Amino acid sequence: MTQVKSFGQVNFGHAQLGDRRRTKRLVKLVDQMCLRPGGTLPQKFRSPADVQAFYRLMRKKDVTHEALLEAHRQATLQRIEDLATPVLILHDTTELEYTTHRSLENLGPIGNGYRRGYLTHNSLAIEPNTREVIGLCNQVLHRRVKVPKSETRSQRNKRTSRESRLWIRGTEPLPANRQFIDVCDRGADTSEFLQHETDSGRRFVIRSSNDRCLLVGHGPSQTSEPRKLREFASTLPQVGTWTLQVTSKSEMRSPRRKGKKKRVMRKKRDAQMAVAFAPVQIHPSKARKNSPPMQVWIVRVWEIDPPPGQERLEWILLTNEPVESFEAAYQVVGWYECRWIIEEYHKGMKTGCRTEALQFTSEDRLQPAIALLSVVTLTLLQLRQASRREDAKTRKATTVIGSSYVEVLSLWRHKKIHRDWTVHEFYYALARLGGHQNRKNDHPPGWQVIWEGWKELLPMVIGYDVAKTKYKKCGQT
């Protein structure tokens, strides 16, 4: 019989840290953190000795952000290679704030400029059919630099520290393989990144942000007269429709004219969606004006008849995936819909694993800790995935989460400890703790509800463990 490897062994068992004992210690600490992923570092470990072991490990010269990330990246790429099916690489940027860390002098401004921290660009691999998270392919910790207001466009394009290059840096470790499909939001819609993706050997889906000039068609069928992207897309005939369940959401939107953002409430509804597509050619940037036009497809998705007072759902996607039928267009749209997973991953980093609560006084120690917690965050996403698998009602919850969590939550829910709870029972009890009613017409619990439940559960588990320790010392059971 083969021994099943732990999460720490799979992702960090081959980490090159200058000493095998460090790698062994790293694996042990990661496995402990996976059982208690929530809260601050002292809350993740059962004993102060383990906390100190973690601090000592982060102080080692060979324990760097890149060394830890590379170990997990190689494990992720190996899993992707074993799949031998298309894999989505979701790219997005979030902010990690460490404003109160006065000793970290080199952090860059974030937010409105008065806070300090990193722009953290993550590249997350998922399987498109099951939407299961495979791993983190890359993470870039970027310090935003202050630039003079008089900086010209030419000077900005020459500056390598500009934030638009994060999208390129995020894809650099990825193989030139059509098994990989880069999925990006509107921030990636730059001529530089489009050219990079066209030349990369991978597939891509990017949400359009700029109203570009383009030529219609590919090859001999192209038109010689340039068209504006949005105007041309609006004239395309629909090739198919489907119904999309839209959840209610409160979001901030910027007005068309300058002014403060306005909070808009999006109502829950079943939206009738339509799709259209066309082959086009986009001119490269002025810096590469001698290069041939980039041949891509545009896919327009829009809501046919939005309710009164509700803004129409609509977006335009750019892709190098051949789109010649409704099925191909619908597949591209489905790939882009998976992008929300990386936003939930960022919530997991901040709310679930409390990455911003790290209290290191040196960037050399802080950065590897960020890499480590970023990988541990995957266990929170895997809990949700496990709840949606066919074996969720038979698989024991303790296979994906620590026994203390199961004991405390079952005690809260039924006034009795159920150590044999299934993943399904644990997940829905956690959602109920966060406010989900689990009525017949309710949607499956979303991440917002899960995080609310998670924040309630964590202090309960800490108190439970303290009480158990006290009773053991007193010789009681």
Residue in 283, 284, 323, 281 with CA at minimum distance from that of residue 300:
323
How does DSSP assign 252-288, residue by residue?
A: EE--SSSS--EEEEEPPEEEEEEEEEEEEEE---GGG
Q: Which residue has the higher pLDDT, 449 or 419?
A: 419
Mean pLDDT of 39-64: 90
pLDDT of 333 over the 50 cut: yes
Q: What is the CA radius of gyration of the chain?
A: 24
Same domain, 219 and 306: yes
How does DSSP assign 389-437, residue by residue?
A: STTTTTSBGGGTS-HHHHHHHHHHHHSS--TT-BHHHHHHHHHHHTT--
pLDDT of 1 over the 50 cut: no
Range of the domain at 453: 388-473
Three-state secondary-structure class, residue 346: helix
Lowest model confidence (mean pLDDT) among 6-20, 195-209, 213-227:
213-227
Greatest alpha-carbon span in the chain = 87
What is the structure's pLDDT at 310? 84
User: pLDDT class for 2, splitting at 50, 70, 90?
Assistant: very low
Mean pLDDT of 47-63: 93
Distances, alpha carbon 46 to alpha carbons 365, 375, 407, 416, 464, in Å: 22, 20, 16, 24, 12
Residue 50: both structure tokens together: 């383990």
Distance CA 467, CA 463 (A): 6
What is the structure's pLDDT at 30? 93
Query: Any idea what the CATH number is for the domain that residue 444 is in?
Result: 1.10.740.10
Same domain, 424 and 283: no
**CA 134: distance to chain centroid?**
11
Each residue of 298-328: pLDDT tens digit? 999 999 988 888 888 899 999 999 999 999 9
What is the structure's pLDDT at 80? 94
What is the structure's pLDDT at 95? 95
Residue 155: both structure tokens together: 């000077």
Contacting residues for 102 by C-beta, under 8 A, at least 6 apart: none
- Is 361 inside any structural domain? no
Query: Any idea what the CATH number is for the domain that residue 87 is in?
Result: 3.90.350.10
- Is 7 inside any structural domain? no
Same domain, 330 and 429: no
User: pLDDT class for 251, splitting at 50, 70, 90?
Assistant: low
Q: Which residue has the higher pLDDT, 149 or 428?
A: 428
User: pLDDT class for 461, splitting at 50, 70, 90?
Assistant: confident
Distance CA 68, CA 393 (A): 35
Same domain, 276 and 419: no
Name the amino acid, one letter, at 358. L
Same domain, 420 and 337: no
Contacting residues for 262 by C-beta, under 8 A, at least 6 apart: 252, 253, 255
Total number of domains in the chain: 2
Each residue of 86-143: pLDDT tens digit? 999 999 999 999 999 888 888 999 988 889 999 999 999 999 988 889 999 999 999 9
- Given its phi and psi angles, is residue 227 left (phi above 0), alpha (psi -120 to 50 degrees) or beta? beta
Same domain, 307 and 415: no
Asked if 348 and 96 count as a contact pair (C-beta separation under 8 A), the reply is no
Lowest model confidence (mean pLDDT) among 15-19, 255-259, 281-285, 459-463:
255-259
- Is 179 inside any structural domain? yes
Same domain, 327 and 393: no
At which residue do the structure tokens 């917002």 appear?
448
Name the amino acid, one letter, at 417. I
Each residue of 262-289: pLDDT tens digit? 666 677 788 899 999 999 999 876 656 6
Residue in 328, 119, 325, 326 with CA at minimum distance from that of residue 205:
328
Same domain, 305 and 422: no
What is the structure's pLDDT at 467? 80
Of 291, 317, 348, which one is at a domain's C-terminal end?
348
- Is 116 inside any structural domain? yes
